[in-house]
Amino acid sequence: MKKKIYIAGAGGMLGEAFYRVFKNDYEIKCTDKDVNEKWLSFLDFRDFDKYKKEVEDFNPDYLFHLGAYTDLEFCELNIEDTYLTNTTSVENAVFIANKLNIPMLYISTAGIFDGTKDFYDDWDEPNPLGHYARSKYMGERYVRENASRYIICRAGWMMGGGPDKDKKFINKIIKQLAGGKRDLHIVNDKDGTPTFTVDFAKNVKLLIEREYWGLYNLVCNGETSRREVAEELVSILGLDNEVTFHEVSSNYFKDTYFAPRPPSERLINRKLELRNMNIMRDWRIALREYIDDYYTDFLKGKTHSAKEDITIS
């Protein structure tokens, strides 16, 4: 019989990848408060009693807790809701997993670091800057200190899900390029490491199957910057000769993106490397595959020229 996985908060870009990667080898139940796929059913995991009943009724071998608010500005403006969703709900998941004596998965973020170092490995001490980062770090700490068996994976600049689910940097640029805009204002003071959701899910699957419990940095290989990612994306789309880049500081977008962000979110998969478990690919290879797999239909006939500004942070 297939082992069973309950995946809570699976309605976003990461949940889509986990569904893709795990559906054939496991019996899975995917839930979210936003039921946007036929393979999703409704659950608001902030409701502890309903969360507990749902998981107990399914009786899984693993509990994956994926969901969180990831819009940094929303988190700064909605503090109580942020901690309810990103922190206390994680405590709910730990309680449920421990009661059923099953391992749990929690997704953390490179954003929990303050960016004073160029690179961060698995053992560097976090110092979150804003409420999003703090709420995620408090969730991470609770899992580390209270879950009986767990895997925590820290993701970087997430890319995945395609036009409908990707709310991050890649999709913002693609949608404006598809609309004909050709002047890009890109920040020059933010470094990080992209994370392709499909590769991320595949590496989690490997960890689960080998039962290598613990905390892991889990990002694509190859450090980079916002400017380099934008340039690579434009090259993949064949628009090198049409797009003009304008480097700006983060202050240029201060009215829109006012939440604190670290200057460096570059992670190193040191622990995965030591365990010979790092199957993450270079971010450039992953980005090309992401565009080919998720955006071919969306981009057909949409990359016409126009002289308008793009403002992407």
CATH number of the CATH domain containing 242? 3.90.25.10
With a threshold of 0.85, does the pTM exceed it? yes
Asked whether the predicted pLDDT for residue 60 surpasses 90, the reply is yes
Residues 184 and 198 in one domain: no
| Claim to verify: residue 59 and residue 208 sit in the same structural domain | yes
Q: Considering the domain boundaries, does residue 277 fall inside one?
A: no
Say yes or no: 81 and 198 in one domain: yes
> Are residue 68 and residue 184 in the same domain, yes or no?
no
pLDDT of residue 254: 85
d(CA 54, CA 187): 44
**Residues 248 and 132 both lie in one domain:** no
Residue 205 counted as domain residue: yes
Residue 170 confidence (pLDDT): 92
Task: Tell me whether residue 276 is in a domain.
Answer: no
If asked whether residues 84 and 141 sit together in one domain, one would say: yes
Both 100 and 229 in one domain: the answer is no
Q: Residue 214: is it exposed, middle or buried by C-beta count within 10 angstroms (0-12/13-18/19+)?
A: middle
Range of the domain at 130: 4-160+193-217
The reply to whether 201 and 185 lie within a common domain is no
Total number of domains in the chain: 2
Q: Is 74 contained in some domain?
A: yes
In a domain, 278, yes or no: no
Shared domain for 152 and 295, answered yes or no, is: no
Same domain (yes/no): 13, 155? yes
Residue 311, pLDDT score:
38
Q: What pLDDT digit, counting tens, does each position of 118-136 carry? A: 999 999 999 999 999 999 9
Task: Tell me the average pLDDT of the chain.
Answer: 92
> Looking at the domain assignment, is residue 40 inside a domain?
yes
Is residue 29 in a domain?
yes
Average of per-residue pLDDT across 50-79: 97
Residues linked to residue 245 through DSSP beta bridges, in sequence order: 184
Same domain, 247 and 197: no
The size of the chain, in residues, is 313
Residue at 108 is within a domain: yes
Write out pLDDT tens, residues 269-311.
999 999 999 999 999 999 999 999 999 888 876 654 443 433 3
Angle among Cα 21, 155, 39 to the nearest 5 degrees reads: 35
Q: For the domain that residue 37 is a member of, what is the CATH number?
A: 3.40.50.720
On whether both 104 and 208 belong to a single domain, the answer is: yes
